[in-house]
Chain A
Amino acid sequence: DAGVIQSPRHEVTEMGQEVTLRCKPISGHNSLFWYRQTMMRGLELLIYFNNNVPIDDSGMPEDRFSAKMPNASFSTLKIQPSEPRDSAVYFCASSFLDRVPISRDRAGNQPQHFGDGTRLSIL
């Protein structure tokens, strides 16, 4: 089975440039999560989607960050303009929520499967 696929694996770009990170969740999963991992702050949840709808974006640091999920098999996280402090490893994860309708209380009841991450360096 293919796991969560993220691209690119590494990205190095100059500050001010637009960065787009991509994620393909596991087929059949209906929830998708974007995380950021840094030495200083550890793992932080940025945003998560359920059935392609953003449920909680309270972790998105600034308006420079945006995420979309146009269909069940694809999501993007975009940073525009990028800054050096955005340098981090960005992980995408997916899972299946076993209860409908959407309930925030049940968002975590299935384990999340993580991609290998995108290591982003902003110079």
Chain B
Amino acid sequence: AQSVTQPDIHITVSEGASLELRCNYSYGATPYLFWYVQSPGQGLQLLLKYFSGDTLVQGIKGFEAEFKRSQSSFNLRKPSVHWSDAAEYFCAVTRDKLSFGAGTTVTVRA
């Protein structure tokens, strides 16, 4: 069965600092990989996706993620965090059904 793990439940960063959210997946083959963001009271918004090709993918809002097959990871990064990036972030993997990680809540302090 496929599964996805987000080791960090909560991360606090200062505005302007860099951010990295970890995601590890477990699957026999390379799955399709996604990062979503959920602001309070909102649905999930797609940040970026990886299907194949270049292992560094660019997304919206200045986010990027790198797929590392050897580590079964798909970590999300942003060089400089803005206060509006405070939200919950979900990594998701799929071949047939979309499976979500437990989420990482990001708090941004001034």
* Chain A interface residues toward B at CB < 8 A: 4, 33, 42-43, 45, 48, 56, 91, 93, 104-105, 107-109, 111-117
Query: In the complex, which residues 42-97 of chain B have their Cβ closer than 8 Å to any Cβ of chain A?
Result: 42-46, 49, 51, 90, 94-97
With a CB–CB cut-off of 8 A, which chain A residues contact B100? 42-43
Q: Which of A56, A105, A115 is B95 in contact with, Cβ under 8 Å? A: A105
Q: Which of A91, A93, A109 is B32 in contact with, Cβ under 8 Å? A: A109
> How far apart sit A109 and B92, CA to CA, in the bound complex (Å)?
12
Q: Which of B45, B90, B96 is A108 in contact with, Cβ under 8 Å? A: B96
With a CB–CB cut-off of 8 A, which chain B residues contact A117? 42-43
> How far apart sit A4 and B42, CA to CA, in the bound complex (Å)?
12
Q: Is B25 an interface residue (CB 8 A)?
A: no
With a CB–CB cut-off of 8 A, which chain A residues contact B97? 45, 48, 56, 104, 107-108
Given contacts A45-B97, A48-B97, A105-B96, contact A111 B46 (CB under 8 A): yes
Residue on A with the closest CB to B103?
Answer: A42
With a CB–CB cut-off of 8 A, which chain B residues contact A93? 43-44
With a CB–CB cut-off of 8 A, which chain B residues contact A56? 96-97
With a CB–CB cut-off of 8 A, which chain A residues contact B34? 111
Q: Is B41 an interface residue (CB 8 A)?
A: yes
With a CB–CB cut-off of 8 A, which chain B residues contact A109? 32, 51, 94
With a CB–CB cut-off of 8 A, which chain A residues contact B103? 42-43
Shortest 10 CB-CB contacts between residues of A and residues of B: A108-B94, A114-B43, A43-B100, A114-B44, A104-B96, A111-B46, A116-B43, A107-B96, A42-B102, A115-B43
